[in-house]
């Protein structure tokens, strides 16, 4: 894909997101924990499923959060849109550039910046918690704060992650989990905790 086409897609995508998002009615649940860490300027690692990132890109814009985004072509488009909304980006994934991604995440967090990770990205399987976020939390000593998103009315793309796009005037519900420290002595031990964090993510949305 040419640079010119990428720039066009980024401009068009950003405009569409803004046009939709200004109509959404956002309701947050258990957001006291989020506001507490923000007020204390405490760095954390937010985890969210890849398919639910769009409403959060808008709702948490201009907060300077570092977002881990893959290095493939679609990742480049998402990275530029995220940067336009005030995020910083760390490039890499569990399949490409994993070591560099972990280093970038650690540096962002150690500088006092919170980070956001989609542990099932960039290519799935959907809602399977890869261990990168847990390892980064163990290495830096910062806790993990899981987030889930749902919408009253939405389009779902026919992609591996069933990407969520809330429709105009939809109610968007953002659910925050508990702030959780990674209790592990080594990165390998931390990685073994990934299924527990996956289960926590799955329990966040009401049945």
pLDDT digit string (tens) for 14-50? 999 999 999 999 999 999 999 999 999 999 999 999 9
Question: What average pLDDT does the segment 111-116 reach?
Answer: 94
Contacts of 35 (CB under 8 A, 6+ apart): none
pLDDT band at 95 (very low <50, low <70, confident <90, very high): low
Sheet holding 144-151, edge to edge: 25-29, 171-176, 144-151, 45-47, 115-117, 66-69, 88-91
CA separation, residue 96 to residues 70, 82, 106, 205 (Å): 8, 20, 17, 30
Tokens at 29, concatenated: 């649940």
Contacts of 25 (CB under 8 A, 6+ apart): 169, 170, 171, 172
What is the residue whose two structure tokens read 């390998």? 188
* 71 has a pLDDT exceeding 80: no
Instruction: State the residue range of the domain holding 159.
Output: 3-203
Query: pLDDT tens digits, residue range 145-195?
Result: 999 999 999 999 999 999 999 999 999 999 999 999 999 999 999 999 999
CA separation, residue 73 to residues 13, 41, 69, 76, 111 (Å): 15, 33, 11, 5, 28
Average pLDDT of the chain is 92
Task: Give me the pLDDT at residue 30, please.
Answer: 95
Give the residue among 67, 57, 63, 71 at the shortest CA–CA distance from 163.
57
CA separation, residue 92 to residues 16, 71, 122, 135 (Å): 26, 5, 9, 15
Question: How many domains is the chain partitioned into structurally?
Answer: 1
Task: Give me the pLDDT at residue 94, please.
Answer: 52
**Per-position b or e across 79-96, b if 16+ CB within 10 A of its CB:** bbbbebbebebbbbbbee
In terms of Cβ atoms closer than 10 Å to its own Cβ (0-12, 13-18, 19+), residue 160 is middle
Write down the pTM of the prediction. 0.93
């Amino acid at each position: 894909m040419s640079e010119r086409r990428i720039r066009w897609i980024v401009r068009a995508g950003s405009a569409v997101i803004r046009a939709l998002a200004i109509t959404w009615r956002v309701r947050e649940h258990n957001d006291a924990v989020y506001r507490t860490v923000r007020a204390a300027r405490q760095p954390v690692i937010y985890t969210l499923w890849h398919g639910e990132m769009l409403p959060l890109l808008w709702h948490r814009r201009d907060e300077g959060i570092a977002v881990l985004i893959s290095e493939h072509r679609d990742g480049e488009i998402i990275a530029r849109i995220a940067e336009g909304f005030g995020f910083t980006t760390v490039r890499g994934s569990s399949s490409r550039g994993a070591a560099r991604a972990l280093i970038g995440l650690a540096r962002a967090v150690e500088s006092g910046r919170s980070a956001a990770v989609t542990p099932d990205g960039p290519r799935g399987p959907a809602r399977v918690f890869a261990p990168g976020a847990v390892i980064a939390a163990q290495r830096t000593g910062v806790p993990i704060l899981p987030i889930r998103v749902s919408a009253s009315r939405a389009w779902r793309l026919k992609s591996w992650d069933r990407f969520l796009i809330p429709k105009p005037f939809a109610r968007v519900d953002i659910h925050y989990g508990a702030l959780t420290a990674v209790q592990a002595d080594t990165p390998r031990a931390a990685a073994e905790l990934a299924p527990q964090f996956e289960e926590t993510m799955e329990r966040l949305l009401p049945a």
